[in-house]
Amino acid sequence: MTALVIAEHDNHAIKGATLNTVAAAAKCGGDVHVLVAGSGAAEAAKQAAQIAGVAKVLHADAAHLGEGLAENIAAQVLAMAAEYTHILFPSTASGKNVAPRVAAKLDVAQISDITKVESADTFERPIYAGNAMATVQSADKVKVITVRTTGFDAAAATGGSAGVVSVAAAADAGTSSFVGREVTKSDRPELTAAKIIVSGGRALGSSEKFTELLTPLADKLGAALGASRAAVDAGYAPNDWQVGQTGKIVAPQLYVACGISGAIQHLAGMKDSKVIVAINKDPEAPIFSVADYGLEADIFTAVPELVKSL
């Protein structure tokens, strides 16, 4: 039994989500191999070899693997799939993009967003926006899985000493091409990896207020900024700040929800946080049912006061 983890990286460095996926792979039993498919990604492959618990790193390098196009990455994974019983991807935008493609080609079902490994063929995953947990068993010969990163502790990024093996790159599918990327600039911690998150909702009223009120608090706490879908749809915050079923799933040490009512969709993305603080002037807001500490107050007075007292 050997598991293959598809590393998430930017051709220079391994991304944090890979470490959680390695941890989940280790729980499936057997050796863990990591595939680094990219363009000029030797440095990322070297980093992957340092991850504790990794037995071997496979490094495929070609220009057409550089931008992570699903067609090409899936072909690369399929070229080496025969030797593995488990193929795991982090449940990030790129993992979710590629994994089902691999599964369909292997004619196996894919298991999405697992939060627990019960045994080599049995896994737990949330359904209905996290309102129910399903324990599922796969009878397929290969298990293709995406791993909810907040469900597993990250493997140590150092301490491993795996060998790096170069593998031949699969051919370019040639049906799609990368055009461009628009990255949201931020010098804050990454949302999914942050220890503390300050999140705002519709009650902020405008993009200016959102920044004006929440930035000082996030700065004080060294926190990442998040937002509810209502705030994102209203244009107060960029798309990739959205926390929820259809946005990012987070589980920080501290989640501060400011002016967020707490719709099912939003709770699905943050209810595994260690401590939840809710500041809302509506005493009936559903967010108070999951908050460890609830403060019934106007955010426009409470948040500045909170900043001052920190």
Residue 295 lies near other proteins (rule: CB under 8 A): yes
Compute the distance between CA of residue 193 and CA of residue 197 in angstroms, rounded to an integer: 10
The single residue among 30, 240, 251, 300 that binds other proteins, judged by CB under 8 A, is 240
Residue 285 lies near other proteins (rule: CB under 8 A): no
Kindly state the tokens that stand for 167. 């593998």
DSSP conformational letter for 81? G
Instruction: Return the closest-CA partner of residue 291 out of 250, 245, 247, 257.
Output: 257
Residue 172 lies near other proteins (rule: CB under 8 A): no
Residue 219 lies near other proteins (rule: CB under 8 A): no
Residue 294 lies near other proteins (rule: CB under 8 A): yes
Instruction: Return the closest-CA partner of residue 114 out of 99, 135, 94, 95.
Output: 135
Q: Where are the beta strands (DSSP E) in 1-85?
A: 2-6, 31-38, 56-61
Length of the chain: 310
Range 185-204, binding other proteins (CB under 8 A): 192, 196
Q: Which is nearer to other proteins, 161 or 292 (CB)?
A: 292
The single residue among 1, 13, 63, 93 that binds other proteins, judged by CB under 8 A, is 93
Range 139-168, binding other proteins (CB under 8 A): 139-140
Kindly state the tokens that stand for 308. 């001052």
Q: In Å, what is the CA distance from 297 to each residue of 218, 256, 285? A: 19, 14, 12
Residue 119 lies near other proteins (rule: CB under 8 A): no
Q: Which is nearer to other proteins, 165 or 310 (CB)?
A: 310
Binding mask 72-91 for other proteins (x = CB under 8 A): --x-----------------
Compute the distance between CA of residue 277 and CA of residue 290 in angstroms, rounded to an integer: 9
The single residue among 1, 63, 264, 282 that binds other proteins, judged by CB under 8 A, is 264
Residue 214 lies near other proteins (rule: CB under 8 A): no
